[in-house]
Chain A
């Protein structure tokens, strides 16, 4: 019940005074009430919960989050050369200062 899922608005209509729409969830189409998010346009992605759109998915933010996540690995690797180990995996630093083992030890750059 509590699981909202994102879908694409493919139809907007008025149903006895209530703004309603059809939302496509990867092929499964359902009616949803759009009354709470009047700025919704055709083609927008919304999160639908028990038949109500409760959020318009911000495409720009969605992409930004993924970009940040995608670059994290490189960030981690470059930082690791200078920073200490995590709790689980103490980095053993070799004599010349390069990490020899540990979270990313031996990982090809």
Chain B
């Protein structure tokens, strides 16, 4: 496919890896924010091809993973109502709540439907005027334009049997929360390309300056990630701390202004709890007052929610990069993508699921799919560019 295949070229990847080895003189610790990037890095073995001492910490950018347990439990309570059609992005269905998940609820007869876009949920509401249709509006800044448009369209077209359960999170406050932590090890960030496609990168400029941390807006293909890592290491080696844009083909400094206008027409910034991380001030969106009638939390009284995380799950430490899935006693045994204990094992963007699908730490027998890494670990940086492509 155009704009995908070219960015997976193994010959170019080897050149980039060799260049990273050439410019690196010291150990550095980088964080990729987005779960989609984590997936590519782990699947392609990019982290293992880097110079020893250069470490990738996998960031909290998995929207499914950070959606707080309270919101998942509220979703379950609303979805269980007989008058409700509960709609959601597919990834949310297997996220464990305190007692069950949406998929199990569906199996027991609840009307839970997976939609690709919130506009599909709106169509379901139009087609079912006698039912209440609720959409689980989760995600980072990337899904916000879609979720905001669905609410704005419901208001414009008077679709009053539609509402949203909002659990929106924002990237920059999570980055500063990590940087403010006394345990922080991150020296440079790869910012999430598509979040920046929507929002631009002006929000990141004060962060780079204040914390003296390089931030490179980075795409999602193997070559994008390798180039982003190279740009970040160059900055670190040269003592610079700037916002740079690797993902030039898709991201502009100002982002997409019409999308931002729509987001802020419907949503306002407020505090938000992150699963496994805790409450971060001004780190999420909530509906503005004029759109309150589309707020599922107000429409349905879900009562007191008592949450209960599985005691073996270390999702919080995984999300902040303090621990790797391999440090978890439940990883691959008690907790698998088929039977997840925590959200990072559910979503394809979760670090645990990324490790699992790459067969990391599972032994040969349990590796689920044969994955041919684009970046071969051993020869890179030794034989270098002259080596024939495999």
* Contacts from A to B (Cβ < 8 Å): 1-6, 8, 16-18, 25-26, 30, 33, 35-38, 45, 47, 49-52, 54-55, 57-59, 61-62, 64-66, 69-70, 72-73, 76-77, 79-80, 83-89, 103-104, 106-108
Contacts and interface: CB of A to CB of B under 8 A. Distances in A.
Given A1-B90, A2-B34, A86 B384 contact: no
A68 to B, nearest CB: 9
14 contacts: A1-B91, A2-B35, A18-B153, A33-B146, A47-B250, A55-B251, A61-B249, A66-B7, A76-B15, A77-B385, A86-B20, A103-B18, A104-B386, A107-B384
Contacts of A58: 248-250
A84 B25 CA distance: 10
Contacts of A25: 1
B51 A86 contact: yes
A87 B20 CA distance: 10
B385 A104 contact: yes
Contact of A69 (B117, B223, B248): B223
B3 A86 contact: no
Contact of A55 (B6, B34, B89, B194): B194
Given A1-B63, A5-B4, A6-B4, A51 B120 contact: yes
Contacts of B24: 86-88
A86 B25 contact: yes
Contacts of B63: 1-2
A87 B349 contact: no
Contact of B3 (A2, A6, A89, A107): A6
B2 A89 contact: no
A107 B262 CA distance: 55
Contact of B146 (A49, A64, A86): A49
A6 B119 contact: no
The 9 closest A-B pairs by CB, nearest first: A51-B117, A107-B386, A26-B1, A62-B249, A86-B21, A6-B3, A55-B197, A36-B259, A1-B89
B16 A69 contact: yes
B179 interface: no
Given A33-B149, A50-B117, 9 more contacts: A1-B64, A6-B1, A36-B145, A36-B262, A38-B258, A57-B249, A58-B250, A86-B22, A106-B386
A62 B3 contact: yes
Interface stretch (B135-143, B282-290, B298-306, B312-320): B135-143
A77 B19 CA distance: 10
Interface of B: 1-4, 6-7, 12, 15-16, 18-27, 34-36, 51-53, 61-64, 89-91, 116-120, 138-140, 142-143, 145-146, 149, 153, 156-157, 194, 197-198, 220, 223, 227, 248-251, 256, 258-259, 262, 347-349, 381-382, 384-386
Contact of B22 (A35, A76, A108): A76
Contacts, number: 186
A109 to B, nearest CB: 9
Contact of A52 (B62, B146, B157): B146
A20 to B, nearest CB: 9
Contacts of B119: 33, 51
Nearest to B15: A73
B46 to A, nearest CB: 15
A2 B248 contact: no
